A and B are shown apart, each in its own frame.
Chain A
Amino acid sequence: MSEENNILVKLNNVGLLQNHKWLVKGVSLTVKKGQIVTLIGPNGSGKSTTAKIAIGIHKNIEGKVEKFTNKIGYVPQKISIDWTLPLRVNDFMVLTENLSDEAINEALSLTGAKHLKNKSLGNLSGGEFQRVLLARAVSKKPELLVLDEPVQGVDFTGEIALYKLIKEISEKLNCGILLISHDLHTVMSATDFVLCLNGHVCCSGTPKDVAMNNEYKVLFGEQASQTLSIYEHKHDHTHSDDGEIKKN
């Protein structure tokens, strides 16, 4: 970690060209310790690609990535466990690092998945699996947590609970979080910075405080309005169907 400003990862004008097509281009962002950065954008806009560039899965990239930590916890967007591999939650927890039984229990309890410990990974429901994925990522007490759509497959109440949990984790571990949200307009209120991607950075800023927004409160309830915020896009351009950029 760079001492003076607590930066964990810094992307400087990065891009990825694959099969003669730019998946993302010209993205710059920084995640600092204790900060939550949220990426939003439509499907295929390069959110996951950007996250994978940040943690070094994509290597042949343009631009520069500076990583100041190696303690990374990653929750990928899609993960399919093959039935040929007999794997229980317990085995999955120690996949990338050996942990004590206490550490495993602690992480599983934190995400409310302790009762699943001896279950086979193949028998979990979507929501249970997300909790296990999250528990595994936080169990090694990472400095940088990268969460690719961690609330997918979880119902609305569960979503609120998971966002609360992510906020708790961020406070408890004081780690930086790079969060990818599947929703275009609502983000966690705890988010410090939002980037809206569509092949490039369309706009960025801080989310609007919706605790004040009565309409939203009526729509989603008091609890939700404390956890979720509306992000107001400020685009100065639009995209045509083939992704071409048109200035307004």
Chain B
Amino acid sequence: MFDDFFIRALVAGIGVAFVTGPLGCFVVWRRLSYFGDTLAHSALLGVTMALAFEINIAISIFIISSVIAIILVKLEKNTNLPGDALLGLLAHSALAVGLVVIGFLSFIRFDVMGLLFGDILAVNVDDLIIIWGGGVIILIVLKLIWKPLFASTVNYELAEAEGLNPDRAKAIFTILMAAIIAISIKIVGLLLITGMLIIPTAMARNLSDTPRKMVVYSILGGLLSVLIGLFSSLEFNTPSGPSIIAAALLLFIISLFKIKQTIQLKN
């Protein structure tokens, strides 16, 4: 049962879950789920660029996602459109342009389904290095900006007034978002990345009364989802990325009973 590809898949999924846990908390707290979606959609363009210019896919996605994030900031400043409209505009434009470019690259065999929903069972050793190396860097940087980022999430002006430089923390966090999408695209695919960021975190919220607990439960939720998802995908021959997200949903549903209990206890 423990074929080599399966162990690689497990190691990759576990690596991603460690990073999506804490980042997902900030995505939920700062209401950035649609922002994450937009970056993920633009990843398709990143993949096509990588294929066209023969560069590393993760690096290419990281660059394109960062560019999209910068364009978003510029548009927010210079137009009168609301944020969610701009996000929709960028997300679907990037997706469409990416698919159009793929049409031009007819000489390359290309697994679009794997890109959209993940292809964790095809993870190779290079991918593992990118996931774990990138993941460690993301977590270290997040740890360094934690204080200003968290303080400005609670209240921007408090953080600014007390000298924490929240703007810089926010800019760095945006880059981290681009990075997590770049390293996790192979695991759950670009349509499901936001799910990996949000669903374990949503479960964690139901169980936590402090921010630290929420981060810990979010990581545990992600790890459990990867384990349950991958083993059931092997057992029932279901697609692995969607199985992981479905497992996360299952955990979320179970966590709802815990909320019900606490509410009853209060009454």
State the A residues within 8 Å of B (CB). 52, 55-57, 70, 72-74, 76, 79, 81-82, 84-88, 91-92, 95-97, 120, 140, 146
Contact = CB atoms under 8 A, between A and B. Distances in A.
B26 to A, nearest CB: 10
Contact of B209 (A56, A70, A88): A88
Interface residues of B, number: 25
A206 B53 CA distance: 72
Given A72-B163, A82-B29, A84-B28, A95 B158 contact: yes
A95 B28 contact: no
Contacts of A79: 155, 158
Given A84-B28, A88-B209, A95-B158, 18 more contacts: A52-B161, A56-B161, A57-B160, A74-B158, A76-B158, A79-B158, A85-B154, A86-B205, A86-B208, A86-B210, A86-B214, A87-B210, A87-B211, A92-B154, A95-B159, A96-B147, A96-B151, A96-B159
Given A72-B163, A91-B210, A85 B157 contact: no
A52 B160 CA distance: 10
Interface string B140-183: 00000001001101110111111110000000000000000000
Interface in B106-156: 147, 150-151, 153-155
A146 B157 CA distance: 12
A50 to B, nearest CB: 13
B213 interface: yes
A95 B31 CA distance: 20
A81 B205 contact: no
Contacts of B209: 86, 88, 120
20 contacts: A55-B160, A57-B160, A57-B161, A70-B163, A72-B161, A72-B163, A73-B162, A74-B157, A74-B158, A79-B158, A84-B31, A85-B153, A86-B205, A86-B208, A86-B209, A88-B209, A95-B150, A95-B151, A96-B162, A97-B162
Contacts of B211: 85-87, 91
Nearest to B266: A123
Interface of B: 28-29, 31, 147, 150-151, 153-155, 157-164, 205, 208-214
A74 B150 CA distance: 17
Given A79-B155, A79-B158, A96 B164 contact: yes
Contacts of B214: 86
Given A52-B157, A85-B153, A72 B210 contact: no
Contacts of A95: 150-151, 154-155, 158-159
Contacts of A92: 154
A97 B154 CA distance: 14
B117 to A, nearest CB: 28
